[in-house]
């Protein structure tokens, strides 16, 4: 069973290194899917909304990591 556990953790680590980053990305994708489906008026801006959220998540995550590093 150990090899199954190792293989699974290796597979997960392909996509998740910082749990908060992965959760934020998935939450944003879910939220975007729900909100954009309800508001047709956002149609021309849908792609921009998706990108801006992901960009903000990346900047916040790296900045938070850098700030945490300064505190050490």
Partner 1 sequence: MRVDWLHAGPTMLAAFLASFVEFVEALTVVLAVGTVRGWRDALAGSGAALVALLVVIAVLGPALTLIPLESVQLVVGGLLLLFGMRWLRKAILRAAGIIALHDEAKAFAKESAELRGLHIVHGGWDKVAFAASFKITMLEGIEVVFIVVAMGAGGAGLLLPASLGALAALALVVALGVLVHRPLATIPENRLKFVVGVLLSAFGTFWVGEGLGIEWPGEDWSILGLIAGFLGVAWIAVALCRRATPSKTMTISGS
Among all chains, which residue has been given the structure tokens 């959220």? 53
Single out the residue of 9, 27, 33, 39 in contact with partner 1 (rule: CB under 8 A).
33
Single out the residue of 14, 19, 38, 41 in contact with partner 1 (rule: CB under 8 A).
14
Among candidate residues 52, 57, 66, the one with its CA nearest the CA of residue 20: 57
Q: Which residues bind partner 1 (CB under 8 A)?
A: 10-11, 14-18, 21-22, 25-26, 29, 32-33, 36-37, 43-44, 46-47, 50-51, 54-55, 57-59, 61-63, 65-67, 69-70
């Amino acid at each position: 069973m150990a090899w199954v556990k190792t293989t699974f953790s290796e597979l997960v680590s392909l996509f998740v290194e910082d749990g908060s980053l992965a959760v934020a990305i998935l939450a944003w994708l879910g939220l975007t899917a729900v909100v954009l489906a309800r508001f047709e008026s956002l149609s021309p801006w849908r792609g921009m909304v998706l990108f801006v959220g992901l960009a903000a998540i990346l900047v916040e995550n790296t900045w938070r990591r850098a700030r945490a590093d300064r505190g050490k």
